[in-house]
Amino acid sequence: MTSQSNASETNQQQQENEILALEAIYSQDFTYTDIADASPRFRGVLTVELALPDEVLVYFANSKNANEAPLKIKHLPPVKIIFEMPDDYPTKEVLCFQLECCWMRWDWLQMLERKLRDIWEEERDVILFHFAEFIHNNAMDFLQIPVPMRFGDDYVGSSTLRTVIRAYNQKVVSEEFLHDHFTCGICFEEKLGQKCFQLGQCLHVFCRTCLSEYFTMLVREGFVLQVKCPEPGCRQSQLISKEELIEIIGNDMEERYSMLMEKQRLESDPLVTFCPRSDCQAPVKKDSQFEKLGVCTKCGFAFCCFCKRTWHGARVGCRINNTAKLVDEYLAADDDSKRMLELRYGAVNLAKLVTEVKDTRANEEWLKSNAQLCPQCETPIEKSMGCNHMRCTRCHTHFCYLCGNWIDPRNPYGHYNNAQSPCDQRLFDGANVEPLDEEDEFAILFL
């Protein structure tokens, strides 16, 4: 009796020590119940995650969606060791246990259980830690699980397995992120993961304060198409998801963002315009019968979709503010754009405007080459003959035809006898004057 009593006490002490050790090592991954008068006394669950080689691809052959992309994961749902410690464990009896795992096939679990029992036969001692270490470090190789991993339609539970594996991986990755340290890509300060946010598409990390201020500023100023990853040169830079934006800037700013994005979408729709009334601005679908007509369903205002003025009829062209600019736009436009301009302003009107603008520009070029502007009233003055001292026919201002500067009427020829003037001795430059012969020159001197 004494020997049996001592053995029983030894088993109880070893079981208690094993429980304490496992609790210290595995913490939240280890749970148990301790009922002192029960047999067995200790029951519990130890969860063990398999060590994976970096990032693993997991394929799911789903007949409903054959082209579904594989998952990229770093963590698989753990194996559960559900155990009971018999009274004579570990000196005489083996640990009672069974394995559970949501993604392992039944034959894999059976192979793994047999291997763990073999380990017990070798050790014949407290064994749960050895079980956990083998599962964590060696199970993938022992079961010859291929990487990348593949699950077919014949796999039990394959319809929901993808969701389970993805959710678990995201949960563990998120927990690791919270306790890691990162350098914010905006303020360049190192922050704990709890104060940071990782964008889902590109995985760039920024502190929540910087990201919130940056995105809030963009939304407030209306630059909604720039609400992307702020990392310079980010190749995955796309508009972030609605869920991420709500988490970063809150619901109120997200509502403004959604409103502005909808406005951007409507503005890019060729069949939609906006009511020109400043107190309305409601989106208006263009009339299918009259392409220029828009009728606001909110305030009832009928207007021209082109010039935004009150409806002037389909056959009346829009009022033109800048003729030359319109003609340049029309001449440079492609066929479709020309058709839209003709629809808006009228083909006959545009043809007439093109002729008028071309004539005006030709006249301006001629005047620029053959006339000088009066420095006072800017009237173009053409010189047909004579010297370069001119007098404007409109305001009677005296000026030089060569340089266009004003000339003092009290001494008009002083401008041409001044060594500092660019027109010195050039009174007759450009004049069709025949050179004097000797007799004419003598006659002039005599006079």
How confident is the model at residue 114, as a pLDDT?
95
Q: CB 5: neighbour CB atoms within 10 A?
A: 9
How confident is the model at residue 206, as a pLDDT?
93
Question: What's the CATH number of domain 180-267, 3.40.50.1000, 3.30.40.10, 3.30.230.10, 1.25.40.390?
Answer: 3.30.40.10
How confident is the model at residue 286, as a pLDDT?
75
How confident is the model at residue 297, as a pLDDT?
87
Condensed to tens digits (0 to 9), the pLDDT of residues 257-291 reads 888 888 878 777 777 888 889 888 888 887 666 66
CA distances from 278 to 297, 318, 323 (A): 15, 20, 27
Contact 309, 319 (CB under 8 A): yes
Condensed to tens digits (0 to 9), the pLDDT of residues 117-138 reads 999 999 889 999 999 999 999 9
pLDDT more than 90, % of the chain: 26
CA distances from 270 to 222, 265, 266, 348 (A): 21, 10, 8, 25
Domain boundaries, the chain: 2-171, 180-267, 274-317, 323-366, 380-447
Tell me the C-alpha distance between 58 and 187, whole Å: 37
Question: Across all residues in the chain, what is the average pLDDT?
Answer: 84
Look up the pTM and report it.
0.54
Q: Using CB atoms within 10 A of its CB, is residue 24 exposed (0-12), middle (13-18) or buried (19+)?
A: exposed
**Coil vs helix vs strand at 264:** helix
Condensed to tens digits (0 to 9), the pLDDT of residues 14-29 reads 999 999 999 999 989 9
How confident is the model at residue 26, as a pLDDT?
93
Contact 249, 215 (CB under 8 A): yes
Residue 442 predicted with pLDDT over 60: no
Kindly provide the b/e burial profile for residues 375-394, where b requires at least 16 CB atoms within 10 angstroms of the residue's own CB: beeeeebeeeeebbbbebee
Cα dihedral value 415, 417, 420, 422, nearest 10: 60
DSSP 59: E
Q: Using CB atoms within 10 A of its CB, is residue 207 exposed (0-12), middle (13-18) or buried (19+)?
A: buried
Report residue 446's pLDDT band, with 50, 70 and 90 as the boundaries.
very low
Residue 382 predicted with pLDDT over 50: yes
Contact 356, 348 (CB under 8 A): no
- The CATH number given to 2-171 is 3.10.110.10
**Strand 149-151 to strand 56-60: parallel, antiparallel, or no bridges (unpaired)?**
parallel
Residue 153 predicted with pLDDT over 70: no
CA distances from 150 to 146, 162, 399 (A): 8, 11, 94
Residue 345 predicted with pLDDT over 90: no
At the top level of CATH, the class of 274-317 is: mainly beta
Condensed to tens digits (0 to 9), the pLDDT of residues 170-187 reads 999 888 888 899 999 899
3-state secondary structure 89-122: CCCCCCCEEEEECCCCCHHHHHHHHHHHHHHHHH
CA atoms within 13 A on the CB side of 447: 5
- 6 CB contacts (<8 Å, ≥6 apart)? none
Tell me the C-alpha distance between 186 and 230, whole Å: 8
Please, what sign has the CA dihedral across residues 225, 229, 231, 236? negative
pLDDT more than 70, % of the chain: 88
Task: Give the distance between the most distant pair of CA atoms in the chain.
Answer: 167
